Amino acid sequence: MPRHISLTQYLVEQQRQHGHIPAELRLLIEVVARACKRISISVNKGALGDVMGSADSENVQGEIQKKLDIIANEVLIEANEWGGHLAAMASEEMEGIYVVPNRFPQGEYLLLFDPLDGSSNIDVNVSIGTIFSVLKKPGGHEGVSERDFLQPGIQQEAAGYCIYGPQTTLVLTVGDGVAMFTLDREQGSWVLTQEGMRIPEDTKEFAINMSNMRHWAPPVKRYVDECLAGKTGERGKDFNMRWVASMVADVHRILTRGGIFMYPWDQREPEKAGKLRLMYEANPMSFIVEQAGGVATDGKRRIMELAPGKLHERVAVFLGSKNEVERVTGYHHEVA
Ligand code: AHM
Ligand code: MG
């Protein structure tokens, strides 16, 4: 019979046997996972919980917030602020950082999250998710500021996402491979369902929003044209295309069966590097993808080595199966 391992057991093993994570980090991850359970309950209730539709507000990126965006953000803050493991949090839904109020003990970690990624899919009952990243507060000074968050992705201590789909699934890395946990709704617990997840190096499946094709840069056009040309073209094989429009769902598919995900830079907004946010979308997903043997670049450079200039910075994203990401990255270098 397979061993029934809970998230708590898995993390305790990581702490004791492998020495990968200190106790504080373990507890912090458990609190995030607990918050995701609560978000999952709200997402599942849908219209019955009066959580559908838009709120009357915009976030810092000028996007209309959905009620569930705000609920998920509040759940994550409430769950995490009192635990004593964090100094501050940052979120897609908040302009500035959220410093843990001084009525609670201060910890040494920083938590970043996109509370509900794939907002456009909330009302249509398609998979959405929570993405998170954990950094350590740089030492040597009291207090915490936005500048403390501006660390490259390679400094991440842990990263994960929770996908609210047909199953609620938590995918996690603490820098020792990628593990997947499925929420057992009857027990209310996370159960380890896959360890050592690996992304195949080759794939015949790509994910990109094709409606933006006319705005892409030449290397992206070239890569996708070659995929579309199929067996008789340059690549000599037929490609399939998938686009859920929830990064969590698209990345989850890639972790499960391989593929390449692209959200490239777009000529419509030359000053912006792409649509997705570096600190709480691209970095945590890149950490997970690399830990599963995949590659993640902004078209030219490794995403996790980019030095962030601001909290809500955007970045072009190419991630997934190694050989495909390296190919499209190579096309960018050829025109540089
Ligand atoms: P969000 O954080 O506002 O939900 O936006 C991020 C999402 C990603 O999950 C997804 O990959 C992308 O936006 C979809 O974009 P598009 O609407 O262009 O298909
Ligand atoms: Mg998002």
Which DSSP string do the residues of 194-252 spell out, in sequence order? E-S----S--SEEE--GGGGGGS-HHHHHHHHHHHHGGGSTT-S--EE---S-HHHHHH
ipTM: 0.97
**pLDDT at 1 (0 to 100):** 46
The CATH code for residues 205-334 is: 3.40.190.80
Ligand whose nearest atom lies closest to the CA of 253: 1
Q: Ligand 1: which of 247, 252, 280 to mutate, judged by most atoms within 8 Å of the beta carbon?
A: 247
| CA nearest to 276, candidates 289, 288, 285 | 285
Ligand whose nearest atom lies closest to the CA of 275: 1
281 marked ligand binding residue: yes
Count CB-CB contacts under 10 A for residue 194.
14
The position carrying tokens 């003990």 is 105
Q: Who lines ligand 1 at CB under 6 A? A: 63, 92, 114, 117-120, 209, 245-247, 263, 275
Ligand 2 centroid distance, CA of 237 (Å): 32
Nearest CA to ligand 1 atom 15: 245
Ligand 1 centroid distance, CA of 117 (Å): 7
The topology (CATH level 3) of 7-195 is: Fructose-1,6-Bisphosphatase; Chain A, domain 1 (3.30.540)
Record the tokens describing residue 198, joined without a space: 């690996």
Question: How remote is the C-alpha of 38 from its chain's centroid?
Answer: 18
Count CB-CB contacts under 10 A for residue 120.
12
196 marked ligand binding residue: no
Tens digit of pLDDT at every position of the chain (336 positions):
456 899 999 999 988 876 778 999 999 999 999 999 999 999 998 888 777 777 767 777 777 777 888 899 999 999 999 999 999 999 999 999 999 999 999 999 999 999 999 988 988 999 999 999 999 999 877 889 999 999 999 999 999 999 999 999 999 999 999 999 999 999 999 999 999 999 999 999 999 999 999 999 999 999 999 999 999 999 999 999 999 999 999 999 999 999 999 999 988 876 667 899 999 999 999 999 999 999 999 999 999 999 999 999 999 999 999 999 999 999 999 997
Start and end residues for every CATH 3.40.190.80 domain found in the chain: 205-334
Ligand 2 centroid distance, CA of 275 (Å): 9
92 marked ligand binding residue: yes
d(CA 107, CA 74): 20
Start and end residues for every CATH 3.30.540.10 domain found in the chain: 7-195
**Which atom of ligand 1 has the smallest separation from the CA of 243?**
19
**pLDDT at 20 (0 to 100):** 75
**pLDDT at 51 (0 to 100):** 72
309 marked ligand binding residue: no
Decide if 298 contacts 304 (C-beta within 8 A): no
Ligand whose nearest atom lies closest to the CA of 65: 1
Count CB-CB contacts under 10 A for residue 213.
12
